[in-house]
Amino acid sequence: MAQTKKIPATVITGFLGAGKTSTIQHLLKTAGGRKLALIINEFGDLGVDSDIVKGCNIEGCNDEDVLELANGCICCTVADDFIPTIEKLLNRETPPDHIIIETSGLALPKPLVKAFNWPEIRTRVTVDGVITLVDGRAVADGLFASNPQAIEAQRAADDNLDHESPLEELFEEQLGCADMVVINKLDLLEEGDMDRVLEAVRKEIRPEVKIVKISHGEIDASVLLGLEAAAEDDLDSRHSHHDDGHEHDHDDFESFAVEFGEIADPEALIAKLLPIVAKHEILRVKGFVAVAGKDMRLVVQGVGSRFQQYYDQEWSDAAVRRSRLVVIGDHDMDEAAIRAEMTA
């Protein structure tokens, strides 16, 4: 049957650890019978997010509907990776009702939105909305919010701090392209924290953008889907630091996977990871761990000093029981030292 109207696509973006995967899982639970296809782009060489979604055991979430883009940042591999993947979905005998795209935490959303104007797909799919997730706790702590006094004090002590940090610029890029901002981890905020978060967010978003506050990624599909923003037709209003044509790269960040055998105590593992993360200023740790005596794999996700762990599914018969964690941080991380400390 010929496609008579554009298929909506929702772009879910947000910095590392903002809660994109948890939000997508809840979205799947509340899809209301809609056939969703997921495109998941990760930074790093281990498909943790896609594996978590595939292991969610949510009715209607089939492995063939979860596609992973693992050849680099989605905003940098549009022609080679993203467009062919979208075409593959559109050309299915039964196309999806809605496409959900989870970007890497280090991706710029605007180049991705621009890709929906490519001739191959522009008459067949539209950007229903760009949803930017914000880690409320991180922003309340001032990690990505401008603080002129603090910056000036740091500059006085360090001549290298004469420009915005790459992390702050990414935060601004993701907010500047948003049609809706979802402030996540409300449960971790204390009195007065939200005022600082809202101040940091509102100065980067367009006036019409709505802000929603949630915990644990729990927001229904009825809220996220159906915005009808047609974002690809509204690019000029979405500010980007890269509108001047400067190339975007990820030379400031790198990732690597650390493998080790079964562990006896998950709490001991977290206690071991915490000082390593602090010492080497690691941004993100995520992966799967084999626990002795447990049939299920343990999901471990860390954002700075905050770690989450839970068992998600049994190890398959074909899977080798092994622990594998992806480490993401600045380009000058001491990989050898981190590997040695994590596997000691």
Non-local (6+) Cβ contacts of 175 within 8 A are: 132, 134, 181, 201, 204, 205
pLDDT tens by residue, 211-267: 999 999 999 999 999 999 999 999 989 988 766 555 555 556 677 889 999 999 999
**pLDDT (tens digit per residue) in 157-197:** 544 434 344 678 888 889 999 999 999 999 999 988 999 99
| pLDDT computed for residue 268 by the predictor | 95
One-letter amino acid at 315 equals: W
Strand pairing category for 296-303 and 284-289 = antiparallel
Q: For residues 58 and 209, give the distance between their C-alpha atoms in angstroms, rounded to a whole number.
A: 31
pLDDT range class, residue 66, cuts 50, 70, 90:
low
pLDDT higher than 50, residue 88 = yes
**Side chain identity at 66, as an amino acid letter?**
V
Confidence of residue 59 (pLDDT cuts 50, 70, 90): low
User: Is-contact 139 196, C-beta < 8 A?
Assistant: yes
> 202 with 146: CB under 8 angstroms?
no
Confidence of residue 19 (pLDDT cuts 50, 70, 90): confident
pLDDT tens for 310-334 read 888 888 765 678 899 988 787 788 9
Average pLDDT, the chain: 80
Residue reference for tokens 């009808």: 228
**pLDDT of residue 44 exceeding 70:** no
Cα(308)–Cα(71) distance, rounded to whole angstroms? 27
253: three-class secondary structure by DSSP = strand
Distance (Å, whole) CA 327 – CA 161: 25
Task: Look at 269 and 142; give whichever has higher pLDDT.
Answer: 269
Q: How far is CA 167 from CA 85, 96, 173, 202, in A?
A: 28, 34, 10, 18
Pairing of strands 36-41, 98-102: parallel
What confidence score (pLDDT) does residue 21 get?
A: 84
Residue type present at position 293: G
Lowest mean pLDDT among 54-58, 118-122, 252-256: 54-58
pLDDT-above-70 percentage for the chain: 76
pLDDT value for 125: 95
More confident residue, 144 or 312: 312
Q: How far is CA 291 from the centre of its chain?
A: 26
Q: How confident is the model at residue 86 (pLDDT cuts 50, 70, 90)?
A: confident
**62 or 71, higher pLDDT:** 62
The residue assigned the tokens 């209607």 is 60
Instruction: Report pTM.
Output: 0.70
